[in-house]
Structure 1
């Protein structure tokens, strides 16, 4: 069953822009990205939008639909009110390049700042062994498709541009948490304390665990509950628990 829907799509670039009205045909079973493609084909051939797989796995088509960060390819038209205009805008946290396309290079900068997994020096590839429970803990975080919707909705950077240099955002704090809980990560042997790094270099203390990042994750990763809160707990134990503090001093002295 088809119907005509009213859309308001943000058009512009870094110098400014506005919401432009369109009326577009909607068919049963379609998603917002289908409508954007029809809009390009029939009325706005110069409309810029980033997309790739249209299967919710590449994370390319991130935008905001009626003010909520979403993947355009995973937002079904049937979930939106048919009698109200549908507003599509670019992600607000990142600079606009053109129309619905934003400059997400901030995220790649932050990704490079997270030291990678450090394998144990005495183990060779093929010799790694992990308990299934340890695999289960970190496997959830590996589902991330880097759509950066969590980064976009996090108000620490969304509402405070000045925080960006000091705050890596939920996606990369989750990466630090994943590596910190990895039983085979030998970063500490090389002098890298991932908990200290999370606090001092990635801004863990700026996260106030409102769970807005979890709410918009298309992969339903429990970013706050399973990554950020446990990482905060481990960082606090390391810094303020007197027994942990004393143990670290003794071990440091022994080495």
Structure 2
């Protein structure tokens, strides 16, 4: 048997095209019931996990459900867990795995399974609706907004978020404690509050919205114990913990516990 034929039948040396056979375990099932199913599938040089899932659909499992869109790491649709780690399937190259390794693909654990690799992420959209939007300054008309570049730069990093919800999935506050979901917005949306709180033109205080206090009292900022697991899985490499959550925690603590800030708020309230 030739070397190329050996490669096609097992995890032996690759043939001239660089193709080899890989062992995949993919979760199949619907809400409340399912199991891992084994597949042996061909892999070509330069492919990503999503390519292999598509090949499984085309050749062995036409009813396999998977959510995807851009295949370029910008839509956040193909989130899953690969060998237990939350990842985008389209950004996980097959070359990072040993050819003899079994690759396990499962749906995001934090959210309810709809079918196979597709989960119900409506929790995140519900949390997004709970956060008050940017409040335009009343004295400025559209087109009159002016900001210093330094202020733009502070929150620009957070706008790279593609809402893949991998940070939400890996956050142990909701991953391991379903009962926390009602009181905890999760890192993605606490980052959104931090972004708005940093915005120099956000007129939330004039509208009676205290973003620091609401982050603590309404969106569960105190649940976060800054383990940085959200930062580790972010495909856009946003420093969620260091640049958003920790500064927001510091500002919330100042507002609630700093005696000078407390006194200043009392004096200001009396003069209004």
State TM-score, norm by structure 2: 0.93
Q: Aligned equivalents of 1:23 and 1:127: distance in 2? A: 60
Indicate yes or no: 2:144 matched with 1:144: no
Q: 1:106 is matched with which residue?
A: 123
Secondary structure at the aligned position of 1:10 is classed as strand
Q: Aligned equivalents of 2:213 and 2:63: distance in 1? A: 47
Q: Aligned equivalents of 2:152 and 2:48: distance in 1? A: 34
Which ranges in structure 1 are unaligned for 5 or more consecutive residues?
none
Q: 2:222 is matched with which residue?
A: 205
Aligned counterparts, 1:68-147, within 5 A: 68-147=85-164
* Greater Rg by CA: 2
Q: 1:35 is matched with which residue?
A: 52
Deviation at 1:253, TM superposition (A): 1.1
2:38 to 15, 21, 29: 21
Deviation at 1:81, TM superposition (A): 1.7
Aligned counterparts, 1:103-252, within 5 A: 103-252=120-269
Q: Aligned equivalents of 1:183 and 1:130: distance in 2? A: 7
Secondary structure at the aligned position of 1:140 is classed as helix
Question: Aligned Cα RMSD in Å?
Answer: 0.5
Secondary structure at the aligned position of 2:141 is classed as coil
Deviation at 1:15, TM superposition (A): 2.6
Q: Aligned equivalents of 1:17 and 1:95: distance in 2? A: 12
Q: Aligned equivalents of 1:130 and 1:16: distance in 2? A: 53
Q: Aligned equivalents of 1:42 and 1:252: distance in 2? A: 69
Q: Aligned equivalents of 2:271 and 2:209: distance in 1? A: 18
Deviation at 1:25, TM superposition (A): 0.3
Q: Aligned equivalents of 1:106 and 1:232: distance in 2? A: 23
State TM-score, norm by structure 1: 0.99
Deviation at 1:99, TM superposition (A): 0.2
Deviation at 1:143, TM superposition (A): 0.4
Q: Aligned equivalents of 2:191 and 2:221: distance in 1? A: 10
Q: Aligned equivalents of 1:15 and 1:163: distance in 2? A: 21
Q: Aligned equivalents of 1:7 and 1:92: distance in 2? A: 18
Aligned length: 255
Deviation at 1:88, TM superposition (A): 0.1
